[in-house]
Amino acid sequence: MKIQKQILKDFHHYKGSNLTRFEKVERKVIELILSSKIPDSQREDSIVFEFKHASGCTQIARILAQKRKLNTEIADNATTLHDIYVIINGTYKDHAKLGAPIAKKLLEEIGGFSNKEITIITNAVAHHSEKEIYSNNPYVELVKDVDVFDCSLYKGAEGFYRIHKPEYIFKEYVNRIKKVREELGLSPNDIFRI
């Protein structure tokens, strides 16, 4: 098959000014991570983990959004921004609620987002820690699911959850991870044995 090169758009690899508003958000979050002045000694998690978690969650969100027939770019940005407070401040206390206004400001600064889009994204950021609540908001639920699923792919996730989360919350994490694994055609058993 002959490819018509003139109609193909080259990939920017996140360089230059030819990025969509959603890609600008992704780039901004990664730039904030790379330029952070808060050392790991003053962070609850390392900046390397924040980089890996933000990037991993973004890609998983794009996959899961396709499975769930949601807007991939909205899902991408909601997930990219979900831990924005932690990225900037290094601490997790109330990070979901505190992150929502930061996400809103960032979206407004980048520009081009409708009020509805900003509301969907910031709402998902604000409520992503409520893993034990099952809402009927598909983007809120997607961010919760992506958050726990990405973490489950790291060795040590089970120990961390069992040590730091109450039993009833741990069970909800397991439920969510199993559900995502089933959606992706992965075995729902031995979820932490990767």
Residues that bind Fe ion in the complex, under the rule CB under 5 A? 83, 147
Q: Considering the complex, what minimum distance in angstroms separates the CB of residue 82 from Fe ion?
A: 6
- Phi, psi of 34, deg, nearest 5: -65, -25
Query: Residue with CB nearest Fe ion?
Result: 147
Name the residue nearer to Fe ion (CB basis): 70 or 151: 151
Name the residue nearer to Fe ion (CB basis): 120 or 148: 148
Q: Considering the complex, what minimum distance in angstroms separates the CB of residue 161 from Fe ion?
A: 12
Q: Considering the complex, what minimum distance in angstroms separates the CB of residue 26 from Fe ion?
A: 16
CA 20 to chain centre: 18
Distance CA 19, CA 27 (A): 9
Say how many CA atoms lie within 13 Å of 2 toward its Cβ. 2
Among residues 185, 172, 184, the alpha carbon closest in space to that of 65 is found at 184
Q: Which amino acid is at 132?
A: E
List all residues 6 or more positions away from 36 whose beta carbon is below 8 Å from its beta carbon: 47, 50, 87, 88
Q: Considering the complex, what minimum distance in angstroms separates the CB of residue 111 from Fe ion?
A: 26
Name the residue nearer to Fe ion (CB basis): 26 or 147: 147
Residues 82/124, Cβ–Cβ less than 8 Å: yes
Name the residue nearer to Fe ion (CB basis): 104 or 128: 128
Q: Considering the complex, what minimum distance in angstroms separates the CB of residue 6 from Fe ion?
A: 42
Name the residue nearer to Fe ion (CB basis): 73 or 83: 83
